[in-house]
Amino acid sequence: MRDDIDVGHGLEALFAPRSIAIVGASDDVTKIGGRPLQFLRKYGFAGAIYPVNRKAAEVQSLRAFPDVAALPEAPELAVIAVPPEGVPQAVRDCAARGVKAAVVLSAGFSEMGEAGARLQAEIGRIARDTGLRVVGPNCLGAIGVPAKSIATFSVALESAFPAPGPVGIVSQSGNLGSYTLRLASERGLGISRMLTTGNECDVDIADAIASAATDPGTRVILCCMETCRDGAKLRRAMALARAAGKPLVVLKVGVSEAGSAAAASHTGALAGSDAVFDAVLREGGALRVPSIEQLLDVGHALAVLGEGRLPAGRRIAVLTASGGFGVLLADAASAHGLTLPRLAEATQQRILQAVAFAAPANPVDMTAQVSSRPELLAQVLDAVAADPACDTLLLQSANAFHVPRLRDVFLAALTQMRERHPQRLIVLCARAPADVRRQLDALGIPAIEGIDAACATVAALATLGMQSAQPSTVEATPRTPLAAEAFATEASAKAALAAAGLPVLREVVATTRDEAVAAASAIGFPVVLKIVSPDIAHKTEVGGVAVGVRSEGQLIDAHDTMLARVAEKAPGARIDGVLVAQMAPAGCELILGTKTDPVFGPMVMVGLGGIHAEIWKDVALRPAPVDAAAADAMLRSLKSFALLDGARGRPKADVAAAAQAIAALSRFAARHADDVAEIDINPLVVLDAGQGAFALDALLVPTSTNKKDVHP
């Protein structure tokens, strides 16, 4: 029986088999049993091909065999294209014959209802019990381009076979994968492999990513994903890609609101399933893109740039021959989080020496003079490339590459530029004919069509470069049970959290008015009163909070009024007493919490707190646990971080204390993920630098079920 910890193992036979059997082979090349055989012969697969057909002695001019057992050798790969009810036996036959991998193209399984799901589950059991790797069912299969291994019926192969190259394509959707393959090929990108996983009875998208990560011929992985069935496995696959230095670009389709709709806490409402997926990809060093167009733009750029050429930051220099285009590019760059630093005075002087009427600061308007004299364009490019103020040079041209005279000027200057600055990152914002694109690709200079697309691509490259420089260092935390009483009330929740290192203020649970008076005297006025009830999650909604109680008389009045108000608004609630707490000094309010995702496990979240939490939704989310450094990075990623950092003359807040609180909470959530569904701390008050941070309110939501689900 196979150990699934070894993610991606056993898939080599899909991409470079010595022999392939087509089970259900057909003479009709319009059928799924006919097309793979046709493609293998058309494109010159060098290994043995064995058609398997119970009724025919010959299929497409090749000798056919009645079953897999009758084959003269055990094929390394089997392509199965028989009716669904015959698939389990075909898979058993392949396993018994010693086949290493099988691709089930047949449909009619879990996508068709309960009966199909049972058939699919049976195939999965056979795979697990025998060690045979099974792709599908209901998939478009796999292609190993260098070996011309074809286990697909994709129409993308009807006109041409992709050229070999560094881009691997993995997809759960067959059509998305096939479409990506065709578009990439049309751009001139070389492909190493394509694998579509379909219903994933055995091989899943994590296996596909891991296999590409360990393939020497793959340098860039493009992934189209719909679901995640095993979060830990996907994270292991992403770690393999990251360790191998292979960028993983993910088009994740499907955004679900279901997770947040039923949330029991503010944290749950803010950490919906799509936000969790974003956080997991970011933590794993992958880049998520919003469209297939950007998937291809970024994939193109990565393939052309090669290894070790990602930008270290988001600073760009924009070069145009038009002031108007410079403004458009500056606006688009800013919208994508890029910055345009002013070039050094020495750089500007070099530009002006080359082109006296240029605007040299950044954007650089080179004027139309550079179109007629290539040495001027080369001089400007050389000056900007030598300036360390920018991580990327973005050169725009509207028409140059479609005019032979101008095309030669630009190509000559860019060739000279590459010779002088072999490692400098240059991206073109330009349309170019296919032959020119090939020349630019050979120079390691991707040409991206469209202003917004070019800026989005540069921003994506910067994100990948910055993520690759910041790998996660926190290891998983062993899980331990949490005492049931910790869930009962705010007081018991805060006691459990305080024991785990969360900072809280002094507080006492009083069961009578006299106990409340005594507690307030011991703590010191002013104090806060809160109702303590296992049946009331949000105390303010029932009048269960009184702040700024400054004397014994005020306390008695607030105590009695609160109990009466709560009895009226929540008549059935059990009341365990009143919490008397130290009044917190004024500070910046954050919301801090965790959510145990059914697929990816515990996630920790921080954002702007108090009444603004769900209005602004300014949050940072990461898989738990995190260390203090990662927690600090979460805080600094908030749009509202300026409030902590002394905006408008405010004193700087104790960011270090807030980061320590986030890290402590994340460890608690990871340790108790089996018992705790959500934790809500709202607010966490962060005092001035050096004075600490304190959790003023806390809610622990128990796990109602441990059932593992699928991420939509």
pLDDT at 471: 57
Distance CA 429, CA 398 (A): 8
The encoded tokens of residue 530 equal 């809160």
| Residue 491, domain member (yes or no) | no
pLDDT digits over 46-85, tens only?
Answer: 999 999 999 999 999 999 999 999 999 999 999 999 999 9
pLDDT at 712: 54
Distance CA 168, CA 417 (A): 30
Average pLDDT over residues 405-422: 91
Domain boundary among 582, 608, 637: 582
Q: How confident is the model at residue 677 (pLDDT cuts 50, 70, 90)?
A: very high
Domain boundary among 551, 582, 613: 582
pLDDT at 513 > cutoff 90? yes
Residues 366 and 233 in one domain: no
pLDDT at 612: 60
pLDDT at 371: 72
Residues 54 and 201 in one domain: yes
pLDDT at 195: 98
Q: How confident is the model at residue 697 (pLDDT cuts 50, 70, 90)?
A: confident
Residues 245 and 321 in one domain: no
- Is residue 368 within 8 A of residue 323, CB to CB? The reply is no
Q: How confident is the model at residue 146 (pLDDT cuts 50, 70, 90)?
A: very high
Residues 606 and 569 in one domain: no
pLDDT at 8: 92
Q: CATH number of the domain at 226, please.
A: 3.40.50.720
> Exposed, middle or buried by CB within 10 Å (0-12, 13-18, 19+), for 207?
buried
Residues 540 and 592 in one domain: no
Which residue in 302, 163, 215 sits closest to 12, CA to CA?
A: 215
pLDDT at 672: 95
Strand partners, 510: 578
pLDDT at 538: 80
pLDDT digits over 602-640, tens only?
Answer: 999 999 876 565 666 788 999 999 999 999 999 999 988
pLDDT at 705 > cutoff 50? no
Residues 529 and 632 in one domain: no
| Residue 698, domain member (yes or no) | yes
pLDDT digits over 214-242, tens only?
Answer: 999 999 999 999 989 899 999 999 999 99
pLDDT at 266 > cutoff 70? no
The encoded tokens of residue 24 equal 């259900």
Name which residue leads in pLDDT, 551 or 270.
Answer: 551
Identify the H or E element spanning 345. helix 345-354
| Residue 499, domain member (yes or no) | no
Q: Domain of 344? A: 308-468
Cα of first residue to Cα of last residue in the chain, in angstroms, is 29
Which residue in 171, 172, 80 sits closest to 126, CA to CA?
A: 80
| Residue 123, domain member (yes or no) | yes
Average pLDDT over residues 564-579: 94
pLDDT digits over 379-395, tens only?
Answer: 999 999 999 999 999 99
Distance CA 206, CA 203 (A): 8
Residues 540 and 605 in one domain: no
Residues 81 and 209 in one domain: yes
Average pLDDT over residues 483-512: 93
| Residue 4, domain member (yes or no) | no
Average pLDDT over residues 415-436: 93
pLDDT at 469: 66
How many domains are there within the chain? Answer: 4
Average pLDDT over residues 649-669: 94
pLDDT at 544: 94
Q: How confident is the model at residue 250 (pLDDT cuts 50, 70, 90)?
A: very high
Distance CA 630, CA 663 (A): 8
pLDDT at 273 > cutoff 90? no
Residues 323 and 213 in one domain: no
Average pLDDT over residues 405-429: 92
Q: CATH number of the domain at 634, please.
A: 3.30.470.20
Q: How confident is the model at residue 260 (pLDDT cuts 50, 70, 90)?
A: very low
Residue 511 backbone dihedrals phi, psi, to 5 degrees: -95, -10
Domain boundary among 582, 616, 641: 582
Residues 545 and 671 in one domain: no
Longest dimension (CA), the chain: 101
What is the number of other CB atoms lying within 10 angstroms of the CB of residue 484? Answer: 10
pLDDT at 253: 83
> Exposed, middle or buried by CB within 10 Å (0-12, 13-18, 19+), for 142?
buried
Distance CA 157, CA 162 (A): 8
What is the number of other CB atoms lying within 10 angstroms of the CB of residue 694? Answer: 22
| Residue 301, domain member (yes or no) | no
Q: How confident is the model at residue 537 (pLDDT cuts 50, 70, 90)?
A: confident
| Residue 286, domain member (yes or no) | no
pLDDT digits over 350-366, tens only?
Answer: 999 999 989 999 999 99
- Is residue 90 within 8 A of residue 82, CB to CB? The reply is yes
Which residue in 106, 156, 154, 302 sits closest to 218, CA to CA?
A: 302
Global pTM reads 0.90
Average pLDDT over residues 660-675: 95
Residues 401 and 537 in one domain: no
pLDDT at 518 > cutoff 70? yes
Name which residue leads in pLDDT, 486 or 712.
Answer: 486
Name which residue leads in pLDDT, 3 or 8.
Answer: 8
Distance CA 643, CA 649 (A): 10
pLDDT digits over 105-135, tens only?
Answer: 999 999 899 999 999 999 999 999 999 999 9
Q: CATH number of the domain at 354, please.
A: 3.40.50.261
Residues 574 and 603 in one domain: no
pLDDT at 2 > cutoff 60? no
pLDDT at 610: 60
Name which residue leads in pLDDT, 308 or 164.
Answer: 164
Per the prediction, the chain carries an average pLDDT of 91
Q: How confident is the model at residue 476 (pLDDT cuts 50, 70, 90)?
A: low
| Residue 278, domain member (yes or no) | no
